[in-house]
Structure 1
Amino acid sequence: MKNRITIPLLLVAALLLSACASSSGDTYSPDQARMEQTVTYGVITGIAPVTIQSDQTGLGTLGGAVAGGVVGSTIGGGSGRILSAVGGAIVGAVAGGMGESALRKHDGLEITVQKDSGETVVIVQEADKEPLAKGDRVRILKAQDGSTRVRPLP
């Protein structure tokens, strides 16, 4: 009985954690590694904190419903067991959806940069380990796939 509960919970946790993605300036996906990037330079003219929220996959809700239903089905007997399983599935679905939502939120920065060319651009990325501030001179890296990031000068 213990494995019937543990396995669905572990699967849900693994799926949620694998669905998290980073979009910070110092993190690259395997597809972005070894890809040529265009470099321009500029100065940060504005910076504001934002929240980056990835789309939910529904895995948290589904996994929570399954886990809640399994746990609920261990309570009671007869028609009470069915009600417990349904109630557990509902509570699990809500909790799983909220958990997935929390895992998919990241602190980010909306960075306004005036390029040396005079053009002004805004780039949103996750907050880096290396702090950025208004007035900092930075590199703007633009990959062939269109992804862009702001990095401090080395």
Structure 2
Amino acid sequence: MLRLFISVLLLSALGACANVDFGSPNIYQRSDVQHSGTVQHATVVRVRNITIQSSSGNSGLTSLVSAGVGAFLGSRVVGNGNGRYIAAAVGGAGSAFVAQQVSSALSRHAGLEIVVHTDTGRTLVVAQPDDQPFVPGDHVLLVSTSSGMRVTH
């Protein structure tokens, strides 16, 4: 019973963050496919590690479902009587708290803040996932599409 409880809790927390996209230069949105964008040549001026925090798109649904499952399973642990109500309350509150913490931790991802100087004289900053390495002095391309701007080699 405890294994089922933990499994449901982890699956609901993981489900909240499963489809988060942070604009990787290696991933294109469906709306960008077969549409033109613009490209500018630029030079990397500075690179800084950042943390990208996704927005909470589930509006507490994960915590609510986990609390319900925790309360149900908590009420099954202790026999009949008032003990099972206390176990249900503790199980529900505990599972909601754990789901919220797991969801929060999974919504943070490593990224880069990249400052570039374009060939036309503009200085721009782009934040994106850290799936491509950049160092000052790199000659890069600024790719601009309907879903945003990205820096790539």
Q: TM-score, with normalisation over the residues of structure 1? A: 0.84
Aligned equivalent of 2:146: 144
Gaps of 5+ in 1: none
Aligned equivalent of 1:60: 62
Query: Which runs of structure 2 are paired with 1:49-128 in the superposition (5 Å)?
Result: 49-56=49-56, 57=58, 58-76=60-78, 77-128=80-131
Aligned pairs, how many?
150
> Is contact 1:20-1:103 (8 Å) kept?
no
Percent identity between the aligned chains?
32
- Note closer, same or farther for the CA distance 1:22–1:132 as it changes in structure 2 (3 Å cut): same
> Is contact 2:51-2:111 (8 Å) kept?
yes
Larger RCO: 1 or 2 (CA < 8 Å, sep 6+): 2
Gaps of 5+ in 2: none
2: distance between equivalents of 1:67 and 1:137? Answer: 53
Q: TM-score, with normalisation over the residues of structure 2? A: 0.85
Structural RMSD (CA): 2.4
Deviating runs (4+, > 3 A) in structure 1? 4-11
Q: Deviations over 1:112-140 (max 9, x none)?
A: 00000010000000111x31111100000
